[in-house]
A and B are shown apart, each in its own frame.
Chain A
Amino acid sequence: MTLLEAKNLSVQLDQKTILEGIHFHLQAGELVALIGPNGSGKTTLLKTLCGLLPAQQGKITALGTPLASIPRQQLAKILAYLPQGNESHWSITVESLVMLGRLPHQNPWQTPSNHDKEIVCQALKACDALQFKDRPVDHLSGGEKARVMLARALAVEPKILLADEPVAGLDPGHQLEVMERFQQLSSSGMGIVTVIHDLTLAARYCDRLVLLYDQQVLAEGIPEKVLTTKNLALSFNIQAHIGKMQGLPFIIPTSVAHPNQE
């Protein structure tokens, strides 16, 4: 089932074209990595896909319905967005922060039901954050905060999860945990799009990569097809060692490529 689809998408911000002619689709059960150099429009694409930014051209559909015609409250029940930066403006407890993910499912004057509490508890467990559920969020380390924010997004119980750099700032162990968690979630039917800078993690865990460069999709498909020497040199301007060890792919950037050597 196609969860999200964008056809011929163009996005301009302040009269500057950020994305042009983008085709994108996300199937149920798929884990897609959005990669590309800084400023290539990854965050813009993610925000456009969840309706935060208007597209000047093109059509986005979620579950077959045009995105613009889905009421915001309805969309909030099926799509969760995990912004970059993990900001929490007030020092509320971890549990009440994750409970915010239940807001789309609650009536205006309703307090959290036992069902809500159960889901929050599961989300915290899944992100290895249950042990500090009573701590104020601003007392957490960067990595702990990132896991709490992910738990918040999971508490929505979305069909679609759009995550902007969810593993940034995590130690290697928790990076692997988040990616494994994504893999489990996608194999249970969730469609996940994640912006990620760690190409090795992207190659290892994601079903499909979308490489953005110069306002457009430079390459798209299975990791082996996208992460080629040529693509990496063109988009990231790097030379990289691409290999496999015990069946696991890895990419090690070795030097900055010189554009004229192409």
Chain B
Amino acid sequence: MPLKSPLFSIEHCSLFLVLLLLTILTFAGSLIVGASSVGWKDLLSVFVGQESEMAHLILLEIRLPRALLGLMVGFTLGLGGAVLQGYLRNPLAEPGLIGVSGAASFGAVITIYTGAAGLFALALPLGSILTALFAVFLVQLLAGKNGGSLRLILAGIAVTSFASALTSLALNMAPNPFVSLEIMFWLMGSLADRSFEHVWLVMPFMIIGWALLFKLGRSLDALTLGEDAAQTLGFNLKHIRHLMIIGVALSVGAATSVSGSIGFVGLVVPHLLRRWVGHKPSALLLASGLGGAILLLTADIAVRLLTTGTELKLGVLTSLIGAPFFLFLIVKTKRNTMS
């Protein structure tokens, strides 16, 4: 009975229908927009099984994996952002906060730097995911034994800074300008030229991560009352933190490994959708995931439409739009607390 699940309550039914519809539309849009002239007529021909060989190649081998990854990465970032904001009870939190994205980026950079990425296609995402998991182990260790969130943030900042320093070091020591250029471009974040291999590699990590994060819904609701009250409602803070960290590491680590770092989606989407689910953290999870998918697919379509000569990178676009929005949020938050 999906309608009775707390993630999908009847009161917000129309919102979820709209989000679902938009997800399907942007997904389809991602399939029909591109450099070649293959469009919606060809997409329809695929459905009836009468597509040309050219359309088959472009739609199913090039654009479909890209659209799927856009969907999955966007969903991960939206969901991760909603979980982090709920867990820290802070509307300015984002999934990169606990160090996972920084570490995943560094892991990818290392595979480019050493040349492993050129040897076989999956070396980069694999190296990236492994580094992310290692970083999480480190963050857990640094964050201490009691379930508090302050040390976790500090540990996340420390790991992120260190990973970014190591990334800079790799750039600094790059054997030739092509390597540094490749690293730079990868760091900007993109979904271009990804294949089904990437989809299959990251999917299991993401699905397990999502499952862990969705389990947190009730705990996040209880945390609305603060950590003490949540504990006396029967929730174990340490258990919550473990689930959260591992869930974010698996899903966001996998997302970063395949797309590079894509900023602001995880920050902006939960913030925009919160009022539509009555500010309830558990109801925000699915909504924010779908919202993230919609935003990222839209941005990825925009990137393709705007690209003329040099490809505009997806992460650049999201940051270009996201940073001013972030500033707007800060100004607005300040005004609210002052009044």
Q: Which residues of A are in contact with B by a Cβ distance under 8 Å?
A: 47, 50-52, 72-77, 79-83, 85, 87-93, 96-97, 100-101, 103-104, 106, 108-111, 136, 152, 156
Residues of A within 8 A of B205 (CB): none
- Whether B89 and A103, one on each chain, are in contact in the complex, defined by CB atoms closer than 8 angstroms, is no
Residue of A nearest to B215 (CB): A108
Q: Which residues of B are in contact with A by a Cβ distance under 8 Å?
A: 4-6, 9, 89, 215, 218, 221-226, 228-229, 231-236, 274, 278-281
Minimum CB–CB distance for A149 against chain B, Å: 8
Residues of B within 8 A of A106 (CB): 218
Residues of A within 8 A of B223 (CB): 89
Residues of A within 8 A of B234 (CB): 72-77, 103-104
Residue of B nearest to A105 (CB): B234
Residue of B nearest to A72 (CB): B234
Scoring A47, A88, A103 by chain B CB atoms within 10 A of each residue's CB, the highest score goes to: A103
Residues of B within 8 A of A83 (CB): 225-226, 228-229
- Whether B231 and A52, one on each chain, are in contact in the complex, defined by CB atoms closer than 8 angstroms, is yes
Residues of A within 8 A of B228 (CB): 47, 52, 81, 83
Residues of A within 8 A of B4 (CB): 111
Q: How many A-B residue pairs have CB under 8 A?
A: 82
Residue of B nearest to A91 (CB): B279
Minimum CB–CB distance for A156 against chain B, Å: 8
Residues of A within 8 A of B6 (CB): 109-111
Q: Give 4 A-B pairs besides A83-B226, A83-B228 with Cβ atoms closer than 8 angstroms.
A: A52-B232, A72-B235, A88-B224, A156-B233
Q: A93-B278, A111-B5 are in contact. Are A72 and B226 (CB under 8 A)?
A: no
What are 10 A-B contacts with C-beta separation under 8 Å? A75-B234, A83-B226, A87-B226, A89-B225, A91-B279, A100-B221, A103-B233, A108-B218, A109-B6, A111-B9
Residue of B nearest to A50 (CB): B232
Minimum CB–CB distance for B33 against chain A, Å: 37
Cα-based distance from A82 to B63 in the complex (angstroms):
55
Residues of A within 8 A of B281 (CB): 90
- Whether A90 and B280, one on each chain, are in contact in the complex, defined by CB atoms closer than 8 angstroms, is yes
A89 in complex: contacting residue of B9, B215, B226, B236, CB < 8 Å = B226
- Whether A100 and B222, one on each chain, are in contact in the complex, defined by CB atoms closer than 8 angstroms, is yes
User: DSSP majority for the A interface?
Assistant: mixed
Residues of B within 8 A of A72 (CB): 231, 234-236
Q: A89-B89, A92-B280 are in contact. Are A109 and B232 (CB under 8 A)?
A: no
The 7 closest A-B CB pairs, nearest first, are: A76-B234, A89-B89, A81-B232, A73-B234, A90-B279, A104-B234, A91-B279
- Whether A92 and B233, one on each chain, are in contact in the complex, defined by CB atoms closer than 8 angstroms, is no
- Whether B232 and A87, one on each chain, are in contact in the complex, defined by CB atoms closer than 8 angstroms, is no
Cα-based distance from A110 to B217 in the complex (angstroms):
12
Minimum CB–CB distance for A51 against chain B, Å: 8
Cα-based distance from A159 to B37 in the complex (angstroms):
70
B225 in complex: contacting residue of A50, A51, A73, A87, CB < 8 Å = A87
Q: A52-B231, A76-B233 are in contact. Are A96 and B278 (CB under 8 A)?
A: yes
Residues of B within 8 A of A87 (CB): 225-226
Residues of B within 8 A of A96 (CB): 278, 280
Residue of A nearest to B281 (CB): A90
Residue of B nearest to A158 (CB): B232
- Whether B232 and A79, one on each chain, are in contact in the complex, defined by CB atoms closer than 8 angstroms, is yes
- Whether B279 and A103, one on each chain, are in contact in the complex, defined by CB atoms closer than 8 angstroms, is no
Residues of A within 8 A of B279 (CB): 90-92, 136
Residue of B nearest to A149 (CB): B225
Minimum CB–CB distance for A190 against chain B, Å: 16
Minimum CB–CB distance for B197 against chain A, Å: 35
Minimum CB–CB distance for A168 against chain B, Å: 16
Residue of A nearest to B3 (CB): A111
Residues of A within 8 A of B278 (CB): 92-93, 96
Cα-based distance from A212 to B228 in the complex (angstroms):
22
Residues of B within 8 A of A136 (CB): 279
Minimum CB–CB distance for B57 against chain A, Å: 43
Cα-based distance from A90 to B230 in the complex (angstroms):
14
Residue of A nearest to B274 (CB): A90
Minimum CB–CB distance for B284 against chain A, Å: 9
Cα-based distance from A104 to B221 in the complex (angstroms):
12
- Whether B224 and A109, one on each chain, are in contact in the complex, defined by CB atoms closer than 8 angstroms, is no
- Whether A104 and B229, one on each chain, are in contact in the complex, defined by CB atoms closer than 8 angstroms, is no
Residues of A within 8 A of B226 (CB): 83, 85, 87, 89
Q: A89-B89, A92-B278 are in contact. Are A103 and B222 (CB under 8 A)?
A: yes
Residues of A within 8 A of B215 (CB): 108
Minimum CB–CB distance for B7 against chain A, Å: 9
- Whether B231 and A97, one on each chain, are in contact in the complex, defined by CB atoms closer than 8 angstroms, is no
Residue of A nearest to B6 (CB): A111
Residues of B within 8 A of A81 (CB): 228-229, 232
Minimum CB–CB distance for B13 against chain A, Å: 13
Residue of A nearest to B336 (CB): A138
Residue of A nearest to B10 (CB): A111
Minimum CB–CB distance for B32 against chain A, Å: 37
Minimum CB–CB distance for A91 against chain B, Å: 5
Cα-based distance from A91 to B215 in the complex (angstroms):
22
Cα-based distance from A257 to B319 in the complex (angstroms):
64
Residues of B within 8 A of A104 (CB): 233-234
